[in-house]
Amino acid sequence: MPAQAKVAKVEARTSQPASPPLTERQEARRRRILHASAQLASRGGFDAVQMREVAESSQVALGTLYRYFPSKIHLLVATMQDQLEHMHGTLRKKPPQGETAAERVAETLMRAFRALQREPHLADAMVRALTFADRSVSPEVDQVSRQTTVIILDAMGQENPTPEQLSAVRVIEHTWHSALITWLSGRASIAQVKIDIETVCRLIDLTDPAATANPS
């Protein structure tokens, strides 16, 4: 199933209304803004992303930028969703090779983690924005969550997850996010992150209907 269709299914399950589609010109403008945001964050982290500089780099008026993204937090959370979407495309070209769903999800999340590791300033800026986000940023935060959910479901090979499986996916997402925070703050090594991710991914086996119907 195409990624967009899976996102739509996840949105339907969470009862979130879809945003009006952007025109081709609006989408091109939005992509320039997100690219400028990522470039500035990659060079200098959270503090380097200033709305005026983003507007200048993306060649849009400052007022136009604020219509797309009301604040830097909105912008950086949307940047994270965009980065995850790019990661998803890369992962789909080279799917994980683990034998079990848990192994494939753990491999997928570690590959995504290592991609963020290669851009530590960008990763720090995006994660800080997620941490600072309040209710006004809920639509952007929800998009990050949905994109992460789709990445995990793809790795599982699951198109119609049960409520229990979706619950397990949410716990995995929370752990992955927490692992990013602890690594970025220097409180966890890559090895510890890997152990934590592999451990939480075992929830996938525990919530597999086939496994629970036929316990060994």
Q: Tokens 């830097």 — which residue?
A: 72
Give the pLDDT score at 29: 95
Burial of residue 118 (CB within 10 Å: 0-12, 13-18, 19+) is exposed
pLDDT block averages, 10 residues each, the chain of length 216: 52 53 92 97 96 97 96 97 94 92 96 92 96 94 95 93 95 95 93 96 90 56
Identity of the residue numbered 121: H
pLDDT of residue 15: 44
Taking only the tens place, the pLDDT of each residue in 65-80 is 999 999 999 999 999 9
The model's pTM: 0.85
Q: For the CA atoms of the chain, what is the radius of gyration? A: 18
